[in-house]
C-alpha cells in the first residue's frame, strides 16, 4: 500500500480493537466489555474497553488511542527529538485471569509520527505466567516466531532478545515472565519501506488471539487452591512493580497527559506483597528459576 497515512493506521487499529474484543467475549463466555470514549484536551482521544468478573478474565482492558498536539518537553528530552507536533496511535491490551494457572498476557502495537517527518512503529507481545509451564511457553514463542519469520529470519531472535531485556524487573533481578517479542522505532532507516513495517505490525496484532487462545487452553478449567491464589497475587505484585517503575509506555502516557484510568488499566484487581516471601512448592521454585533472560523457549 503506497502513501500509508496516520488516518489509515488509526482506522485499522480501531478495527483490531473491535475484532479482539469480540473474540475475547466469545472466549470468556460470560463477561462483556464496557467502553469509555474520552477526549484529550491537547488533541485526540480514545476508546477504553474494560472487561471484568468473567469466566476466564478477572480484569482486562483493550484500549485504542489516537492522540496529538505539541510534543511535551519531557518526551522531546527522553527521546532526543527536535521540537514539533506529534501524533501517536495504537492498541494496548492486558488481561488478568481469575484462575492462577492461566497466564497474564500483554500486547501493544503502536505508531508515532511528528510534523517534521519523523515516524516509527513499535510494539510487542509477552506472557507472564504465575506458574511457568514449559510447553505453554514454547507454544507461545512458536506463534511469535512464525509471525516474525514471515517478514525476516532475523526478527524473532532480535525482538525476542529485546523483550528479554525490556521486560526485566531490574530491582528483582528477574524477567516479568517468559517474555515474547518487543520492538521499537521501526522506520525506513533499515532499508525496509514503511508499508513493510506496517504489514509486520498488523501481523503481530492479528497473532494475539490465536496465541492467547493456545495459552489458556487446558489451563482455564484447572482446579486451584487458596495457596495458589496467594502465589498469583504475589506474582501480580511483581507485574505492578514493573509497570509502575520501569514501563516506558506508562511513563509516555502520563507524560503526554493521557487518560490516567486507561493508562493504569494494566494493573490487576488485587495484588499482594509479603516481606521476604519464599516459594513454598517445587513448581513455585522452578518458576522463579525460569524467570531469566536468554532461554531458548522454541527449542526447550
The pLDDT assigned to 1 comes to: 38
Stretch (H or E) spanning 85: strand 85-97
Chain segment 216-237, per-residue pLDDT in tens: 999 999 999 999 999 999 999 9
Over 90: is that where the pLDDT of 257 sits? Answer: no
Three-class secondary structure of residue 43 per DSSP: coil
Asked about 151 being catalytic, the answer comes back as no
Banded model confidence at residue 138, pLDDT cuts 50, 70, 90: very high
Percentage of the chain lying above the pLDDT 90 cut: 85
How many C-beta atoms surround the C-beta of residue 135 within 10 A? 10
Distance CA 3, CA 272 (A): 49
Banded model confidence at residue 300, pLDDT cuts 50, 70, 90: confident
The pLDDT assigned to 238 comes to: 96
The pLDDT assigned to 23 comes to: 98
Helical residues (DSSP H) of 155-275, grouped into ranges = 155-166, 194-216, 226-245, 248-255, 260-263
Closest residue by Cα to residue 227 from 149, 91, 111, 131: 131
Q: Domain range spanning residue 105?
A: 6-299
Q: Is residue 237 within 8 Å of 272, Cβ to Cβ?
A: yes
Over 90: is that where the pLDDT of 22 sits? Answer: yes
* For the chain, the helix, strand and coil percentages under 3-state DSSP, each to the nearest 5: 45, 25, 30
Helical residues (DSSP H) of 64-193, grouped into ranges = 73-79, 134-149, 155-166
Three cell numbers written together for 292:
531469566
Domain count of the fold of the chain: 1
In a domain? residue 1: no
Three-class secondary structure of residue 175 per DSSP: strand
The pLDDT assigned to 79 comes to: 83
From the list 8, 77, 106, 130, the catalytic residue is 106
Distance CA 265, CA 91 (A): 13
In a domain? residue 278: yes
Distance CA 107, CA 126 (A): 7
Look up the CATH number of the domain holding residue 230. Answer: 3.40.1500.10
Percentage of the chain lying above the pLDDT 70 cut: 99
Banded model confidence at residue 189, pLDDT cuts 50, 70, 90: low
∠ CA(182), CA(188), CA(193), 5° rounding?
100
In a domain? residue 164: yes
In a domain? residue 206: yes
Helical residues (DSSP H) of 107-170, grouped into ranges = 134-149, 155-166
Distance CA 227, CA 249 (A): 32
Average pLDDT rounded to a whole number, residues 78-91: 92
Amino acid at each position: 500500500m503506497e502513501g500509508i497515512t496516520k488516518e489509515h493506521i488509526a482506522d485499522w487499529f480501531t478495527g483490531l480493537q473491535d475484532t479482539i474484543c469480540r473474540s475475547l467475549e466469545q472466549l470468556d463466555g460470560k463477561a462483556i466489555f464496557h467502553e469509555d470514549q474520552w477526549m484529550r484536551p491537547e488533541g485526540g482521544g480514545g476508546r477504553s474497553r474494560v472487561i471484568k468478573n468473567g469466566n476466564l478474565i478477572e480484569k482486562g482492558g483493550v484500549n485504542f488511542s489516537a492522540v496529538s498536539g505539541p510534543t511535551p518537553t519531557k518526551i522531546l528530552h527522553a527521546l532526543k527529538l527536535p521540537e514539533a507536533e506529534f501524533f501517536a496511535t495504537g492498541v494496548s491490551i492486558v488481561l488478568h485471569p481469575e484462575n492462577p494457572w492461566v497466564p497474564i498476557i500483554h500486547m501493544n502495537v503502536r505508531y508515532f509520527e511528528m510534523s517534521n517527518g519523523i515516524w516509527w512503529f513499535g510494539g510487542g507481545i509477552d506472557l507472564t505466567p504465575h506458574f511457568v509451564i514449559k510447553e505453554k511457553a514454547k507454544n507461545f514463542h512458536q506463534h511469535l516466531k512464525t509471525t516474525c519469520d514471515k517478514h525476516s529470519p532475523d526478527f524473532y531472535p532480535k525482538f525476542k532478545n529485546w523483550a528479554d531485556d525490556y521486560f526485566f524487573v531490574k530491582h528483582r533481578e528477574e524477567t516479568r515472565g517468559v517474555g515474547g517479542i518487543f520492538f521499537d522505532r521501526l522506520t525506513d532507516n533499515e532499508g525496509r519501506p514503511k508499508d513493510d513495517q506496517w504489514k509486520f505490525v498488523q501481523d503481530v496484532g492479528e497473532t494475539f488471539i490465536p496465541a492467547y487462545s493456545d495459552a489458556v487452553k487446558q489451563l482455564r478449567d484447572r482446579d486451584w487452591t487458596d495457596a495458589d491464589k496467594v502465589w498469583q497475587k504475589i506474582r501480580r505484585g511483581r507485574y505492578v512493580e514493573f509497570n509502575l517503575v520501569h514501563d516506558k509506555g506508562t511513563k509516555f502516557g502520563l507524560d503526554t497527559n493521557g487518560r490516567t484510568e486507561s493508562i493504569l488499566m494494566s494493573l490487576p484487581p488485587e495484588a499482594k506483597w509479603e516481606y521476604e516471601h519464599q516459594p513454598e512448592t517445587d513448581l513455585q521454585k522452578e518458576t522463579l528459576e525460569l524467570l531469566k533472560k536468554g532461554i531458548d523457549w522454541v527449542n526447550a
